[in-house]
Structure 1
């Protein structure tokens, strides 16, 4: 190999090294003020400049050929919502309960082992004391229980459930020979209309209060207030 050929080869190598070094330096300059190149954009999210894009051919977007048909992309299928279990379970309530009742207190009875709370009324608690018209204390809660027991006797009664309370008791309207016992007890003055839950028996309460029947003959604390005071 003569000196001329060696010179040509050396010049070619120098030219290649020059362009390679130029490309490296050019690539280094890309995104130099944007944190450098990260993938196909500057690290701060800035797109590659037109000067830098040729050095990253893998990032060049291919455009469809003229006249080429593009296939539409179908949207992903929408899955039906998953069934979720309700946080509250509906309460199954019997249509009616009939039988001889045992009186638990002035507003609670038991039929066939089922504890029933009389709907819409609140009677004095068994140990609650009231004051009569003469200023004498008496056990009004016990009196209310006795009066309800005397009214029911040993006759079978029918209770129509309306709900269940937080203690699991059936809340019902009970009848004796067609008469609403809940209404009767309020009208007799031995229970109050429990207006926090129902206003069904407000007329009976107004009647008993005006005639000073039962607990309305003297002084008393409403049963719900008496219970709240006992809890303190």
Structure 2
């Protein structure tokens, strides 16, 4: 019985493993390491189209600058990564190291990204040091990347308000995301915050059978 239970535990444990490969920079906090898409653990860099203000209050394209600067430093280098988890988009959230140095820590310490405290306090002190020294983005002012994304989502929803089901019995939400076509039931974690935009091909379903027949799969959470 003990051996059988141990086998069940092993089967239920995600087979996370370390990996390595050449780096291709996607944006300020996303890398391709070999054939693995990596969301760098514990950091939040400005979005590629985000702007900041310099010390004189002038707007400048800080998101594009950060991507270019990180590319200059790490593009083509070999990284070794410690996988922490998979995010809801299927990306590998990992700590990566180049030449033995923590990539995320370097980025935050040089003022090129925020410490993502919602998920980790690993780089809290690195960010505070960069802020005190006025390094990188801290030489001016910048909206947090999370707030920038929230404002952008709000503007998109205002421009394209989500639909509501025409039939009260058809309450299953067929959402399209980076993970594919996913349907959400009321008991699923993301049901309340999932919005249906029919102009993008999203839709409402009356039954799970209808959703599966149309090519949607059930949300995991």
Q: Distance in 2 between matches of 1:204 and 1:101?
A: 23
Secondary structure in structure 2 of the residue aligned to 1:128: coil
**Pick from 110, 122, 135: which aligns with 1:188?**
110
**TM-score, structure 2 as length reference:** 0.63
Specify every segment of 5 or more residues in structure 2 that has no aligned partner in the other structure, as ranges. Answer: 1-7, 155-221
**TM-score, structure 1 as length reference:** 0.60
- Bigger mean CA offset, 151-160 vs 175-184: 151-160
Equivalence for 2:43: 121
Q: Distance in 2 between matches of 1:104 and 1:155?
A: 14
Alpha-carbon RMSD? 1.6
Q: CA deviation at 1:90?
A: 4.3
**Pick from 128, 132, 157: which aligns with 2:79?**
157
Map 1:64-213 to 2 at 5 A.
90-94=13-17, 96-213=18-135
Q: Does the CA-based 8 Å contact 2:43-2:115 persist in structure 1? A: yes
Secondary structure in structure 2 of the residue aligned to 1:134: coil
Specify every segment of 5 or more residues in structure 1 that has no aligned partner in the other structure, as ranges. Answer: 1-84
Q: CA deviation at 1:227?
A: 0.4
Secondary structure in structure 1 of the residue aligned to 2:47: coil
- Alignment size in residue pairs: 145
Q: Distance in 2 between matches of 1:97 and 1:134?
A: 44
Structure holding more strand per residue: 2
Q: Distance in 1 between matches of 2:54 and 2:15?
A: 43
Q: Distance in 2 between matches of 1:131 and 1:197?
A: 27
Equivalence for 1:15: none
**Pick from 144, 149, 155: which aligns with 1:222?**
144
Q: Distance in 1 between matches of 2:48 and 2:75?
A: 19
Per-residue CA shift, 1:152-172, capped at 9, x if unaligned?
132211111111111110000
